[in-house]
Amino acid sequence: MAFVPAFGLLTLAIFIGFILFLEGLFEILFALALKPFSGWKWMMLSGVLALSLSFFVMIGFPDVTMLFLAIVVGLNMGTYGMSVLLLALGRKKFSE
């Protein structure tokens, strides 16, 4: 990446797109497994967003910049964190 930055950026974009795709699939499967809890829809929303972000990375593949990748990863981390938090808050209501 130090000697050929364009090739490194394209490799990083492919890797991040693939990881987001896998994470989205696993979050959706996890949400379906947690259907009895009240916060499962937030996990499903986070999974769908991760899948759509992976498609955005792959569609804009040749023109992807580091700023776009950083925004995508940050948005994914934020939505996943919020979905876990809201799932935990829904757990209290389920156990009462």
Give the pLDDT confidence of 2-51 residue by residue, as tens digits.
788 888 888 888 899 999 999 999 999 999 998 887 888 989 999 999 99
pLDDT band at 77 (very low <50, low <70, confident <90, very high): very high
pLDDT, mean of residues 50-54: 93
Closest CA relative to residue 24, chosen from 79, 91, 90: 79
69 vs 94, more confident: 69
The domain in which residue 37 lies consists of 5-95
83 vs 93, more confident: 83
Tokens of 27: 């979050």
Would you state the pLDDT for residue 40?
87
Count of structural domains within the chain = 1
How many C-beta atoms surround the C-beta of residue 87 within 10 A? 20
Whole-number Å distance between alpha carbons of 69 and 31: 25
Closest CA relative to residue 50, chosen from 71, 80, 29: 80
Radius of gyration of the chain (CA): 16
pTM summary value: 0.82
Q: Is the pLDDT of residue 81 over 90?
A: yes
